[in-house]
Amino acid sequence: MGDGGYLDSASSEPLHPAAREAMLAALDQGYADPRRLHPPARNARLILDNAREAVAEALGVRRDEVSFTSSGTDAVHRGLLGLLPPGATVAHAAVEHSAVLHALAWRPDLKLRSLPVDATGRVDAERLGTYDVLALQDANHEVGTIQPAVGVGTVFRDACASMGRVPLREGWSAAAGSAHKWGGPAGVGVLLVRQGVRWRNPFPADDRVDGRVSGFENVPAALGAAAALQAVVAERDLVNARQHALVDRIRAAVARIPDTEVVGDAVVRLPHLVTFSFLYVDGEAIVDALARRGFSVASGSACTASTLEPSHVLAAMGALTHGNLRVSLTRDATETEVNAFLAVLPEVVAEIRRDVGM
C-alpha cells in the first residue's frame, strides 16, 4: 500500500488498521459459541451483535437486515437465490459479476434475460423490460461504472465492488458486500435482506444465531469487517476525492499512449479504479513487465490460453479485451506512487509492442 506499488485494491484492499485493532482484541474475547448461555459465549454474542450494529449504522440499514456470510460470493448467492421463486424471470445486467451469473445458471428453472449495456458499461434504465426479479450491481467491479438506482419490485443489488466506498443504491430487496474489498478481512461477506421482503434461505438451514446463514460465525473477523467499514465510511469524503483525482490523472495520461482505449464512465464511477486496454499487447506480458518494475496490477484479458474466454464485461461493452489492465488505488495511494506508475507505463507498452513487431 502507499508507495509500495500495489495497484490492485479492487481485488483486495490491504487490511485497515481499524480492522486489525478490532480483530486482535476480538480474537481473545470472541472464541466461544455465541449461541451458548455462559459468560464466554455471551462475550462472543456481544461482539457479533456489536459488529452487526456497526455495519447497520455504517450502511444506514436496520440491524436485523444485516447478516455475516463466509464471503462476498456467498452473500451474492444467498441474497439473490433467496429472492427467486421457481420459474422466475430474472433480468440481469450483461456485466454482472460471475458470482451472480453462476448463481443464476445454477437454477435451470429460471428464465434469464441479459440486459445490454452501453459503451460505458451501464444498463439503459428505460429498457429494463418486465421481470420478476432484477439483478443489478451497484457498480461494476472491472470498469467502475456506477449503475443507475433503478428497478421496481424485487431487486437484488450486488454491492461487492462498492460497499463502504459509496452509499448503497436505493431500491434493494437484498444486497451483498465483501469485506476484503473495503479493507476488512477476507472470508466475511455482508448480506442485506430488506425487512418485509419475501426471501427464503436457498441452502440447507442451520441452527445458528442468524437463520439466513450457516456455519459457526467468524466472530473476530465480523468485528474487523465492521470496524473497517465504519472507518472507511467516515473517511470516504476525503479518500474518495483524492482517489477520484488520481484516477483522472491516470485516465488522461493513459489516453495519450497510442492505440489505447480507456473504458468505463469517466465521472459516474467508483473513485479508486480504472481499466484500459492496449492494442497488440498481451495481458499477461504487461502484468509481468509491470511486476518486474514493482507494480502489482490486475488484467481482465485471457490471452494466456486460447481456450479461456475474454472478460464478459469488456465484451458486453464492445471494448477491446486484450492488453487489458485494471488499476485500482488503495486508500493510502499517493501522487508519488501514481506518477511512478505513469512514468514507466508508456515504455512498458512500447517494449511489448516492439517485441511483437508493432
Which residues in this chain contact another protein in the complex, by CB under 8 A?
259, 261, 279-282, 301-310, 314-315, 318-323, 356-358
Active site residue 160: no
Q: Which is nearer to another protein, 130 or 306 (CB)?
A: 306
Q: Which is nearer to another protein, 285 or 338 (CB)?
A: 285
Residue pair 272/251 in contact (Cβ under 8 Å)? The answer is no
Q: Which is nearer to another protein, 279 or 342 (CB)?
A: 279
How long a stretch of residues is the chain? Answer: 358
| Other Cβ atoms closer than 10 A to 309 | 8
Shortest reach from residue 295's CB to another protein, in Å: 21
User: Rounded CA gap, 75 and 207, in Å?
Assistant: 18
Closest CA to 166 of 241, 97, 250, 251: 241
Closest CA to 192 of 94, 90, 59: 59
Q: Which is nearer to another protein, 145 or 311 (CB)?
A: 311
Shortest reach from residue 279's CB to another protein, in Å: 6
Residue pair 254/345 in contact (Cβ under 8 Å)? The answer is yes
Q: To 5 degrees, how large is the angle CA 237–CA 239–CA 244?
A: 95
The active-site residue, picked from 303, 319, 327, 349, is 303
Shortest reach from residue 349's CB to another protein, in Å: 13
Shortest reach from residue 191's CB to another protein, in Å: 34
Burial status of residue 280 (CB atoms within 10 A of its CB: 0-12, 13-18, 19 or more):
middle
Shortest reach from residue 280's CB to another protein, in Å: 5
Q: Which residues are CB-contacts of 297 (< 8 A; sequence separation ≥ 6)?
A: 7, 8, 287, 290, 291, 325, 326, 327
Q: Which is nearer to another protein, 152 or 305 (CB)?
A: 305
| H helix or E strand, kind and range, residue 350 | helix 335-355
Active site residues: 303
